[in-house]
Chain A
Amino acid sequence: MEKTLTVCPYCGTGCKLNLLTENGKVVGAEAANGRTNEGELCLKGYYGWDFLNDTNLLVPRLKSPMIRREKSGKLEKVSWDEAIEFASSRLSSIKANFGSDAIMTTGCARGAGNEANFVMQKFARAVIGTNNVDHCARV
């Protein structure tokens, strides 16, 4: 069994925990002696990890890029290259026709982390050209 020291993905307390893995699967979590949690975890910290094993209890994991070619059509699986081309050309055309401020972007206050959010807002500000950046802080 391997242990990976990490931070709980649920509330803002910032509890340190060890994810226990075996053969590439998460099998448990144990409390670590972090600054704020001092060796303790709550219910979600101890039992909130098995979504990583794609349990499909509630919602399926996304594993392929998808696009909807027409508004009335259905989502279909495509390659990364095609998805990026589809999304970037549509965004560029909206930017050209309606201006940068016609595009809204959000950050993610959950598992993505600060670096991912930094790159998102850089994409919005430097590439799209708008300060339309916001996130789910109000929820």
Chain B
Amino acid sequence: MSNAITEIKDAKCLLIFGYNAGDSHPIVAKHILQAKANGAKIIVCDPRKIESARVADKWLQMKNGSNMALVNALANTIFAENLQDQAYIDKYTDGLEEYKKIISTYTPESVATITGLAPEDIRSVARLYATASESMILWGMGVTQYGQAVDVVKGLASLALITGNFGRRGVGCGPVRGQNNVQGTCDIGMLPNIYPGYQKVTNDAVREKFENKWGVSLSPNEGYKLTQMNHLVHDGKMKAYYIFGEDPAQTEADLAAFREMMGKLDLVIVQDIFMTQTAAMADVIFPATSWGEHEGVFSCADRGFQRFNKAINPPEGTKVDWKIFSLMATAMGYPMSYENTKEIWDEIRSLCPEYAGATYEKMEGLKSVQWPCTDEGDHDLGTSFLFEGNKFTTENGRGQLFASEWRPPQEIPDRDYPLVLSTVREVGHYSCRSMTGNCSALQTLADEPGYVQMHPLDAKSHGIKDQQLLWISSRRGKVITRANYNERINIGAVYMTYQWWIGACNELTIENLDPITGTPEYKYCAVKVEKIDDQSWAENHVQVEYSALRNKLRDVAKG
């Protein structure tokens, strides 16, 4: 996020785009309510009437898969009505001519069919966003989990640029990161093209710095992305997979293809805290300590480094993650040992100029340090908002305007598969659910096989009653799930959360990857639903399958 979560309440206009804070980040949702109480105008662009839409001044119930068209139409309106900040554009940005060439054809009228929106609604939103003194954009997976994702991210950032909404409190762009340390994994270079601190592996000077520190020569080539694994394994190029704290057998798109890929690998190592479905496929399992049993630093969504602490002793037989890696490194001929996390953190700081000043001392207790924090001195306590003075992290320091033509999602509903499936979050369970599914209060709230949210009109047209079990299928798989009538979603689309074993929506999802991030199109594929006449058979079937899977994992864990 360019600006702190705590600056949401300073905004005068919030443009919330494909982001359901109420379910994914309930405490961020409170900041949105605070902004509303402070008088901010709230705009929500989402096919569902999510919680934020209920308090919104303007809710655009756009069609699934129309993001780029809507963003372009907002930009089109801003220029058509001369609402842009021309002085800011001239002074701080590049690429206006090309940008205008693309958006000029995207009048609100021209996208009415694609987006399902009335032109006047698009215009009024563009006016609200462009004319507020401080406007902030928040987005989530409703933007990034499409085959056209990075284009939309750049398009949204360009809206902020053409209206001068960067480099101050209460403005900017907020991709609100999902998992508690997904910002951290990016910060620490768990990506194939960057070292820790967003330093490119292809940059010779950077690589030399890491080589000197670590005393080895390093590969000058970018690595592969996880989402390339299927093809690489198929082609015989990838032989081993070391999985650390993830359950891709639950969370990947198109799970049947994932399982086939796992079966072809020579070696799968899984380091985790629970016997997940992924762990059950491993050739080696390393049992690790859990959150609560070890300490370290997390990065929250707004670049905030915060220390977390050990509350209880880990079970006998487990080891701390970094000690396991150190043992493996040593066994493979590179002696590695650390005394504690502080020693590791200090090595990170020594290699990453942006984090150099973020000492453990500055993060004592409740304190949080947002990077960049470059100086160890007490005067540098980090950075609440980026791009002060409108200096950007591009090569020439200027903001690069960007627009792209809208591309439709890959798999459009047809006669055989007439509904859109979009995968979403629910408030009580998290990710693959190995943690929340083991919490009694949270498990009581929702259990297998999970739900498919359906508009009552769609459900009734298939003869499906609320809370009945049903089959849902795509060209890639078929699972049983439970209907949950929901009048707050759009007709023609259904929504499932992804943590269920029996009602596993990722048996249905499609791989269509964004060309830059490699993120699958989790938000859009074509499905059909079928009524089950014998509901007592279906209820029994779910219980039998669920018990069988639970028992299987328990048996595997016994060894």
Q: Do A and B come from one complex?
A: yes
Name A residues whose Cβ lies closer than 8 Å to a Cβ of B.
2, 4-16, 19, 21, 24-26, 32-38, 40-45, 47-52, 54-68, 71, 74-77, 80, 83-92, 94, 98, 100-139
Please name 13 pairs of A and B residues whose Cβ atoms are closer than 8 Å in the assembled complex, sorted by A.
A2-B311, A10-B435, A13-B300, A14-B299, A25-B312, A44-B436, A51-B435, A61-B315, A103-B241, A111-B290, A114-B184, A120-B190, A120-B325
Are B193 and A131 in touch, CB under 8 angstroms? yes
Q: Smallest Cβ distance from B36 to chain A, in angstroms?
A: 16
Q: Which 7 A-B pairs have the closest CB atoms?
A: A14-B300, A108-B245, A113-B296, A107-B190, A111-B291, A131-B223, A58-B437
B347 at interface (Cβ–Cβ under 8 A)?
Answer: yes
Q: Smallest Cβ distance from A43 to chain B, in angstroms?
A: 6
With A112-B288, A127-B332 given, is the CB distance from A87 to B223 under 8 Å?
no
B492 at interface (Cβ–Cβ under 8 A)?
Answer: no
CB < 8 Å neighbour of A63 from B190, B287, B331, B366:
B287
Chain B, Cβ-Cβ closest to A86? B284
B28 proximity list for chain A (CB < 8 A): 13
CB < 8 Å neighbour of B182 from A12, A67, A103:
A12
Are B181 and A110 in touch, CB under 8 angstroms? yes
A-B contact count (CB 8 A): 479
CB < 8 Å neighbour of B326 from A45, A58, A119:
A119
B296 proximity list for chain A (CB < 8 A): 112-116
Q: A90-B283, A114-B348, A122-B325 are in contact. List 13 more A-B contacts (CB 8 A).
A: A12-B179, A33-B366, A36-B368, A48-B436, A63-B315, A90-B284, A94-B240, A107-B185, A108-B321, A112-B244, A114-B181, A129-B216, A136-B251
Are B317 and A63 in touch, CB under 8 angstroms? yes
Are B427 and A117 in touch, CB under 8 angstroms? no
Chain B, Cβ-Cβ closest to A69? B283
Are B176 and A114 in touch, CB under 8 angstroms? no
Q: Smallest Cβ distance from B372 to chain A, in angstroms?
A: 16
CB < 8 Å neighbour of A26 from B312, B367, B437:
B312
Are A50 and B440 in touch, CB under 8 angstroms? yes
B542 at interface (Cβ–Cβ under 8 A)?
Answer: no
Are A137 and B6 in touch, CB under 8 angstroms? no
A68 proximity list for chain B (CB < 8 A): 282-284
